[in-house]
Amino acid sequence: MNTFGNIFRLTEFGESHGRAIGGVIDGCPAGILIDETFVQSELDRRKPGQSALTSPRKESDIVEFLSGVFEGKTTGTPIGFIIRNSDQHSSDYENVKNVFRPSHADYTYTAKYGLRDYRGGGRSSARETACRVVAGAVAKLALNQKFEDSISIDAKIIQIGKVIGTEAEMNAEILKAKQDCDTVGGIISCTIKNVPFGLGEPVFGKLQALLASAMMSINAAKGFEYGTGFEGASMRGSEQNDEFICQNGQVKTKTNRSGGIQGGISNGQDIYFRVAFKPVATLMKAQNTIDADCNSVVLTMKGRHDACVLPRAIPVVESMAAIVLFDAYLMSRSSRI
């Protein structure tokens, strides 16, 4: 399952310490203007080594389009792209070659495949999310060129650990965890404005289900809710329901507790959701675990790692939302003649 999407589809490949990562975007209509500067700017938001908050790994993350774009426009054929890896320190992982790191995919990959690429987590590394950002940037460009009122997708951090405060206060919590040789999680919220009505399919293709699938596929994601989410479970129907009103000749809702989605289909109101991320599993302090022979070992990690995924996860959340929306738009074109 290295492919995401129904009509607008991303198939990606590569490992954290391989020669490159990359992908193929299939199902993208012809004639979309591809602003490579914009695509690169989206990648730059995600890349490591930009501040004290992130991993010091230095990757330029330069995307090279190999096919599917001619004279600045998509041709309707598969869009192939590649992002070369250049700053791997594979020797940092020699001490975990035969060890199962706590809360990592080491054991599950070994149990499933009989082997694993231990260098930086291999395929399970968040390094692969750079490919999602490329596809998400293409989807954003397509959405903005299709709809007169540009669809805006805005994700932001609203909580780090137990801290709900200013950006400076939340950043300080990340730095504190890093100084303690520990890690911290948090919550990202995302609001999507100017969404047209009618996106999403009934029953098994509900828009919230597609968004949930997209968000829960991101590394370290542990929870998803949209609209009032779990808080709505404590409300009565009279508190939860969104009353319809007519405003300037258009159907609106008086409130938006549904989060812009009803019956699995967008209703034209803002879509908003939240994604919870766990603390990074790689700690710079000693942890108890076992090796492949079931011997108890004390593991102390080496290398360059994020103390918190959230600062770099923001563009990934936005990208996955854009992919879902553009795919849902293409699917909706088959709903009526």
Contact 45, 315 (CB under 8 A): yes
pLDDT digits (tens, 9 = 90+) for 87-128: 655 556 677 888 998 888 889 989 999 988 887 677 888 899
C-alpha to C-alpha distance for 24 and 270, rounded to whole angstroms: 30
Secondary structure of the chain in HEC code, one letter for each residue = CCEECCCCEEEEEECCCCCEEEEEEECCCCCCECCHHHHHHHHHHHCCCCCCCCCCCCCCCCEEECCCEECCEECCCCEEEEEECCCCCHHHHHHHCCEECCCCCHHHHHHHHCCCCCHHHHHHCHHHHHHHHHHHHHHHHHHHHHCCCCCEEEEEEEEECCECCCHHHHHHHHHHHHHCCCCCCEEEEEEEECCCCCCCCCHHHCHHHHHHHHHHCCCCEEEEEECCHHHHHHCCHHHHCCCEEEECCEEEECCCCCCCEECCEECCCCEEEEEEECCCCCCCCCEEEEECCCCEEEECCCCCCCCCCHHHHHHHHHHHHHHHHHHHHHHHCCCCC
- 58 pLDDT above the threshold of 70: no
Considering the domain 3-332 in this protein, what is its CATH number?
Answer: 3.60.150.10
pLDDT digits (tens, 9 = 90+) for 248-279: 998 999 999 999 999 999 999 999 999 999 99
Q: pTM of the predicted model, to two decimals?
A: 0.92
For the chain, the structural domain boundaries read: 3-332
- Which amino acid appears at position 110 of this protein? T
Contact 155, 104 (CB under 8 A): no
C-alpha to C-alpha distance for 125 and 85, rounded to whole angstroms: 13
pLDDT digits (tens, 9 = 90+) for 280-333: 998 888 999 999 999 999 988 877 688 999 999 999 999 999 999 999 999 999
Other CB atoms closer than 10 Å to residue 323's CB: what's the count?
25
Contact 311, 301 (CB under 8 A): no
Other CB atoms closer than 10 Å to residue 97's CB: what's the count?
11
Other CB atoms closer than 10 Å to residue 230's CB: what's the count?
9
pLDDT digits (tens, 9 = 90+) for 18-31: 889 999 999 999 99
